[in-house]
Amino acid sequence: MATSTSPQRTSSLAQIIPVMLCFFAMGFVDLVGSATNFLKADLGLSPAKAGFLPSLVFLWFLIFSVPTGLLMNKIGRKKTVLLSLVVTLLSLIFPLISSTYEVMLIAFSLLGIGNAIMQTSLNPLVSGLINPSKLASTLTFGQFVKALSSLLAPYLMSWGAVSIIPTFGLNWRILFPIFAIVNIATMLFLGVTPIKEEKAEKVTGVIECVKLLGLPFVALCFIGIMCHVGIDVGTNTFAPQILIEKFGYAVEDAVIGTQIYFYFRTGGCLLGSWILARVAAKKFFAVSVAAMLIGVICLFVASSSILVLAGVALIGFGNSNIFSVVFSQALIAQPNEKNEISGLMVMGLIGGTVFPFCMGLAQGYTGISGAIAVMSAGVIYLLFYTFRIKKA
């Protein structure tokens, strides 16, 4: 296994700012959802073709996360983050050349690959700058910064589509050069920032890395990440469907379910970064899971759309800090294999594909209540995980 000698964690604002800019760049991946809607209209794509574009993101997480963890052992975390920014920049340049379906497949693939590399390498880079007791709160604040980027993307696209200001013929694609400029600035800022890293004395292989899942607590964390992402994607996908199926909402009005979830998740990240710096992770995690449990109960028994939206809000707030706590717990549990552990945890994002698929199957047999039941299973698992959380 990789071993390391941990340096004293003393970080300056000059180190934290470029790292937080990387979290902002990490949020670029969420432009895929809004961009797919515009592409579907521009190119007349079938639902199957349009739906395939976002799925590319999770495919690359499965393929690249573990190899990225091993790559960090060879070239270091900072260089790996810089590599992810280079790949992300390429993904933002392709749509400026052409917006054909084939070109956008390449662009979205590169965006997914770049994001998989970044998610795997950025969190361990932060862990080398921050004391373990503050790691969960710092990662949560990073998720808040990422969420700001995610919120900005659809507004920029909509502005570009209707703006009276010249957009050089790019229309909604004006987003890409704007994000590309931010990406380049982030690369330059991080590139000139000195960051002392823990040194890996031994490079592990893929099989040796995957074997870490044989450690009970690592496996618990991996499944926890799957549940978090599954609940996240499942709520975003099925909240509008609940409003449509149960209360007859029009499709264009039902998106309020997704919007409510996202706003409460963003607010929860900001609040959580403050709370986790002052309250034990186990206590706050328990409160977060309790909020999600009440939320899914609201979805089950909802007799009005208001109760559905209240449930979605509770799930959004509760799920906002799950990733940071579980990820930090895994890193703290195996301090000498942080790079490998990071790769495994990011691979757990495949839950964003597994859960919606299972929810869709359940919905086909029992209606929307079946989909909610699948999501509830993820919440119940996280309730079990609460009792296994260790002190940082």
Return the C-alpha torsion angle 156, 159, 161, 163, nearest 10. Answer: -140
Band (3; pLDDT cuts 50, 70, 90): very low
Tell me which residue of 253, 226, 228 sits closest to 242, measured CA to CA. 253
Tell me which residue of 342, 319, 317 sits closest to 329, measured CA to CA. 342
27-36, 44-53, 214-223, 240-249: range with highest mean pLDDT: 214-223
Residue 44's SS3 state is coil
DSSP state of 350: G
Tell me which residue of 354, 345, 360 sits closest to 378, measured CA to CA. 354
Residue 188's SS3 state is helix
- Helix H, strand E, coil C: the string for 219-258 is HHHHHHHHHHHHHHHHHHHHHHHHHHHHHCCCHHHHCHHH
Contact 114, 88 (CB under 8 A): yes
- Mean pLDDT of the region 262-276: 88
- Mean pLDDT of the region 6-21: 72
Band (318; pLDDT cuts 50, 70, 90): very high
Task: State the average pLDDT for the chain.
Answer: 85
CA dist 309 and 196 (Å) reads 46
pLDDT at 5: 42
Share of the chain above pLDDT 70, in %: 91
Count other C-beta atoms under 10 Å from residue 45's C-beta.
Answer: 17
pLDDT at 7: 44
pLDDT at 164: 60
DSSP string over 187-225: HHHHHTS----PPPSSPPPHHHHHGGGGSHHHHHHHHHH
Query: Residue 154: is its pLDDT beyond 80?
Result: no
Residue 259, burial from CB neighbour count under 10 angstroms (0-12, 13-18, 19+): middle
- Mean pLDDT of the region 318-325: 91
Tell me which residue of 217, 228, 218 sits closest to 383, measured CA to CA. 228
pLDDT at 22: 95
CA dist 225 and 84 (Å) reads 21
Q: If you count them, how many residues does the chain have? A: 392
* Residue at token pair 């618990």: 220
CA distances to 54, 85, 87, 189, 198 from 183, rounded to whole Å, are 21, 7, 10, 10, 26
The pair of three-digit structure tokens given for residue 157, joined into one six-digit string: 């696209």
DSSP state of 172: G
Longest dimension (CA), the chain: 60
pLDDT at 139: 85
* Residue at token pair 């998106």: 255
> How large is the angle between the packed helices 31-43 and 101-127, nearest 10 degrees?
180
Band (4; pLDDT cuts 50, 70, 90): very low
Higher pLDDT residue, 165 or 235? 235
CA dist 125 and 264 (Å) reads 27
Report pLDDT digits (tens) over 341-380.
888 998 888 887 788 888 888 888 888 888 899 999 999 9
